[in-house]
Amino acid sequence: MTTVHVTGVLAALAILLAIGATLYWMLHPPTTSAERAARLTERDVAEMIGSVLVVFSQEIHSEHVMSLAARVARRERAQLLAAYVIEVPHTLPINAEMAAEHREALGVLQVAESIARANNVEINTEVVRARQVAAGVLELAKHAQVHLIVLGSYREGKYTGAPLGRAIEVIAAQANCDVLIGIQGTQGTLLTPPKRDAKAVAR
| Entry pTM | 0.68
Q: Is residue 9 part of a domain?
A: no
- Give the pLDDT confidence score for residue 190 in this predicted structure: 57
Give whole-number Cα distances, 116 to 20, 106, 108, 157, 160, in Å.
52, 15, 13, 31, 29
Neighbours of 167 (CB within 10 A): 22
The mean per-residue pLDDT over the stretch 71-88 comes to: 92
The mean per-residue pLDDT over the stretch 83-106 comes to: 94
Contact call for residues 111 and 69 (beta carbons, < 8 A): no
Q: Is residue 100 part of a domain?
A: yes
Q: Which domain holds residue 81?
A: 48-202
Gap between the Cα atoms of 146 and 49, Å rounded:
8
Q: Is residue 18 part of a domain?
A: no
**How many domains would you assign to the chain?**
1
Gap between the Cα atoms of 2 and 178, Å rounded:
73
Contact call for residues 70 and 182 (beta carbons, < 8 A): no
Q: How confident is the model at residue 127 (pLDDT cuts 50, 70, 90)?
A: very high
Q: Is residue 30 part of a domain?
A: no
Q: Write the pLDDT tens digit of every residue in 160-175.
A: 555 567 888 899 999 9
Q: Is residue 32 part of a domain?
A: no
CATH number at residue 147: 3.40.50.620
Q: Is residue 33 part of a domain?
A: no
Gap between the Cα atoms of 133 and 87, Å rounded:
6
The one-character DSSP state at 164 is B
Gap between the Cα atoms of 84 and 152, Å rounded:
12
Q: Is residue 26 part of a domain?
A: no
Collect all residues with Cβ–Cβ distance below 8 Å to 160 and sequence separation of at least 6.
Answer: 186
Alpha helices in 119-174 (DSSP H): 133-143, 166-174
Q: Is residue 121 part of a domain?
A: yes
How high does pLDDT run on average in the chain?
A: 79
| Pairing mode, strands 79-87 and 51-57 | parallel
